[in-house]
Amino acid sequence: MAALTPTAAPARTPHAPPTPGRGGAVRGRRRPRVWRGAVLTLAGCYFLVPLLSSFVFTVHVPGQGVTFAAYTGILAADGFTRSLLLSLGLAAATIVLALLLVVPALVAVRLGAPRLRPVGEVVCMVPLVVPPIALVTGVTTVLRWGPDHLSRTPLYQTFLAVQNESFPLVLVLAYTVLALPFVHRSLDAGLRAVDVTTLVEAARNCGASRPYVLWRVILPNLRSSLAGASFLTLALVLGEYTIASLLGFRPFAVWIVAVSGSEARMSVAVSLLSLLITWALLLALSRAGARASAATPAPSPAPSPAPEKE
């Protein structure tokens, strides 16, 4: 009986049409559906139409035509530079304090007590349940109670220092509490994508100390997560109004609302510029995280063992 030799499949020309599969379905690249474009168009209109309307409101003055006075007068407005620098300083201090609290706690829980991870998650998610108005009410009560009962103790000066108008530390503490859920989610996702236990054990076996391991081994692997947490905290601080207004301070968001009473067009122009700056920071952090991920070399596969000779 003659042996059957397999025949080679016919070569497909570059311009040949796709071959139909089972049921007459054409195998090839699926064309994008129409409804996807419709959804994207509606979403784009939902976000862009209010922005365009706000921009037209700032540049069009009835009886004067098109003018950019609302944008040119921002830098010369009273309190703009001071309030913006105050908000940026509060944001930087909040980012540092939140990262100093959350990063060591998450690393310690993941390495030493994995069973406490749900407890830490619940504690960090509590600010999502408590409204900011309730938080600021409690802060106000403590600030009023402290000077009356601690006037003869060294803590009296502490209560005065945290309420300094040039840089209110009480806002940093309140913003840190509000930012805990976002910082925890971002860093927890980054730690889950990294084998922290193996990295720490390898570094410790090489003689590295615990602070060195945290600074030079764990943090470089969390660059994208740290950038995301920092961006969310920055956006939170720049847009927070309730706590700062009720405590009597005037950062950037409170200044915008105060200016809107006399300069409506300028307040809308400042809001648009702050939104554009926030988007630019988001794109910059996204690009930085993508470049860091691309620059990280992929681990080379382990060589297969050579076959033993008989």
* 247-287 confidence digits (pLDDT tens): 989 998 898 888 877 777 888 888 888 888 777 777 776 67
Express each pLDDT in 34-68 by its tens digit: 788 888 889 888 888 988 888 888 888 887 778 88
Neighbours of 258 (CB within 10 A): 15
E strand or H helix that includes residue 159:
helix 155-161
Residue entry with tokens 């209110």: 168
| C-alpha pair distances (Å), 112 with each of 17, 117, 198 | 60, 10, 13
pLDDT band (50, 70, 90) for residue 78: confident
What average pLDDT does range 74-91 have in this prediction? 87
* Percent of the chain surpassing pLDDT 90: 14
Cβ-based neighbours of 57, under 8 Å, separated by 6 or more = 265, 268
* Structural contact between residues 80 and 270, judged by C-beta atoms closer than 8 angstroms: yes
Segment 14-43, tens digit of pLDDT = 555 555 555 454 455 555 677 888 888 898
| Nearest to 177, CA basis, from 226, 233, 231, 224 | 233
pLDDT in the model for residue 197: 83
In three-state secondary structure terms, 222 is helix
> How far is it, in rounded angstroms, from Cα 163 to Cα 173?
11
Q: Is the dihedral of CA 288, 290, 291, 297 positive or negative?
A: positive
26 φ, ψ to 5°? -85, 125
Could you identify the residue written with the tokens 């009962």? 149
**72-292 maps to CATH 1.10.3720.10:** yes
Q: What is the pLDDT of residue 173?
A: 93
Angle formed at CA 238 by CA 49 and CA 135, multiple of 5 degrees: 115
Read off the pLDDT of each residue in 85-96 and give the average, rounded to a whole number.
Answer: 92
Among 210, 281, 186, which Cα is nearest to 239's? 281
What length does the chain have?
310
Domain ranges, ordered by start, for the chain: 72-292
CA distance linking residue 48 with residue 207, whole number of Å:
55
Listed residue (175, 191, 164, 163) closest to 98, CA to CA: 175
For residue 303, pLDDT over 70 is answered with no
